[in-house]
Structure 1
Amino acid sequence: MKREFIHITDNNKHRLMSDSGFWHGSTNKNSRDKMKKILSMAVLNELTERQRICIVDYYLNGKKEKEIAKELGVNSSTVSRHIMKARDKLRHIASYYVN
């Protein structure tokens, strides 16, 4: 299975998931806004505290895994695992809302 990663920056934060069929060609602003709200709520309510810290620091704050690991006092592979599990959980939650 081909995986594309989520890289959120100021220029592309409107694209919450990969382009590989996620939106099914939709450019509907309402659909995007609804998905942003769903994923924002999922980040707040469905992820563990460590997953939330790791994914927000990595994708929204642009920190490297090693930098996050140093701040948390854990190994960088642990940070990588938290990011991967959080991304998988968010993708799973989002799949319920895609046609």
Structure 2
Amino acid sequence: MRDTRFDARSSEWIGDMTVWLRDHAEDNSEQLERLRRGLRRAREQELTPRQREMVFLYYDRGLKMSQIAQKLGVNRSTVSRTVKRAKQRLYRCLRYAL
């Protein structure tokens, strides 16, 4: 036996809230596009060629770090460290650019 008064209609209520939130959400497409442009520019200008290559393979191509390591002939930890440093550099760059 359920004590909560919302149990009988909980799924309807969640659906109603989802529709309301979607209808009343702010349009942030302009901000997202500005962020995408900034990210593209930062990847081209701020990353080393090696960082750019590893970030491309990891995020754009969806390869695992072990696959990247094997493809480039380096240790997996080198790939991990390089991607981490590239990510940190991009975060710093984008934080100040926006």
What's the TM-score, normalizing by structure 2?
A: 0.70
| Displaced runs of 4 or more, over 4 A | none
What are the Cα deviations for residues 61-91 of structure 1, in whole angstroms up to 9, with x where unaligned? 1101011011111100000011000000000
Gaps of 5+ in 1: 1-25
- Cα shift at 1:97: 3.1
Give the number of aligned pairs: 74
Aligned residue type for 1:65: M
What is the match of residue 51 of structure 2?
A: 51
Work out the CA distance in 1 between the residues paired with 2:27 and 2:75.
Answer: 40
Work out the CA distance in 2 between the residues paired with 1:27 and 1:47.
Answer: 31
Work out the CA distance in 2 between the residues paired with 1:82 and 1:65.
Answer: 10
- Cα shift at 1:56: 1.0
- Cα shift at 1:28: 1.5
- Cα shift at 1:93: 0.7
What's the TM-score, normalizing by structure 1?
A: 0.69
* Identical-pair percentage: 37
What are the Cα deviations for residues 5-57 of structure 1, in whole angstroms up to 9, with x where unaligned? xxxxxxxxxxxxxxxxxxxxx75111110110011011111101111111111
Within-5 A mapping of 1:5-44:
27-44=27-44
Greater fraction of residues in helix: 2
Gaps of 5+ in 2: 1-25
What is the match of residue 80 of structure 1?
A: 80
Work out the CA distance in 2 between the residues paired with 1:94 and 1:42.
Answer: 7
Does the CA-based 8 Å contact 2:42-2:94 persist in structure 1?
no
What is the match of residue 6 of structure 2?
A: none
